[in-house]
Amino acid sequence: MKIAVTATGPSLDAAVDPRFGRCPWFVLVETDDMSFEAVENRSGMLGGGAGIQSAQLMAEKGVQTVLTGNCGPNAHQTLSAAGIRVVIGCSGTVSEAAQQFKGGQLRASEGPNVGSHSGMGRDPQ
């Protein structure tokens, strides 16, 4: 199964980035053999729509599940519409998160856990 983990860098040893749409990297992991491909997230710097653009990229890459720290409503809706499951609350390294998922320790979320634009560094109002 192909999963994507939001990451601070392009490797299995990178930390899980808590932001979905604004993470610097997606590490795509094939859970059968732990092979991976790092994909730079060029949508992270957009003023708006980063979550939607990132979700569309995941669909284009054939990802079945996304592991991340947080996911906003627009990204969650776009991922769900594409048939991609979302696991929130992930932390540690990409490898650790992938192993936890592979071991059945992580479950898909029913909905977003943060509001729109939460990854932009603004204080919630």
Amino acid making up residue 121: G
The verdict on residue 120 lying in a domain is no
Q: How far apart are CA 36 and CA 83, in angstroms?
A: 21
Evaluate if residue 124 carries a pLDDT over 80. Answer: no
Q: Are strands 25-30 and 35-40 parallel, antiparallel or unpaired?
A: antiparallel
CB 51 within 8 A of CB 20: yes
pLDDT class of 116 with cuts at 50, 70, 90:
low
* 123 pLDDT higher than 50: no
How far is 79 from 59, CA to CA, in rounded Å? Answer: 8
C-alpha dist (Å) from residue 64 to 86, 88, 106, 117: 9, 14, 14, 24
Domain presence at residue 125: no
Cβ proximity of 90 and 68 under 8 Å:
yes
pLDDT one-digit tens code per residue, 81-93: 999 999 999 999 9
**Letter string b/e over residues 80-93, b meaning 16 or more CB atoms within 10 A of that residue's CB:** beeebebbbebeeb
Q: Is residue 121 part of a domain?
A: no
Distance of CA 51 to the CA centre of its chain: 10
Please check whether residue 12 lies inside any domain of the structure.
yes
Q: Do the domain assignments include residue 119?
A: no
Residue 43: pLDDT band with limits 50, 70, 90 = confident
- Residue 40 three-state SS: strand
Distance CA 102, CA 117 (A): 30
CATH number at residue 74: 3.30.420.130
The answer to whether residue 117 sits within a structural domain is no
Longest dimension (CA), the chain: 44
Domain that holds residue 90: 2-110
Number of domains in the chain: 1
User: Is residue 50 assigned to a domain?
Assistant: yes
Report whether pLDDT(1) > 70: yes
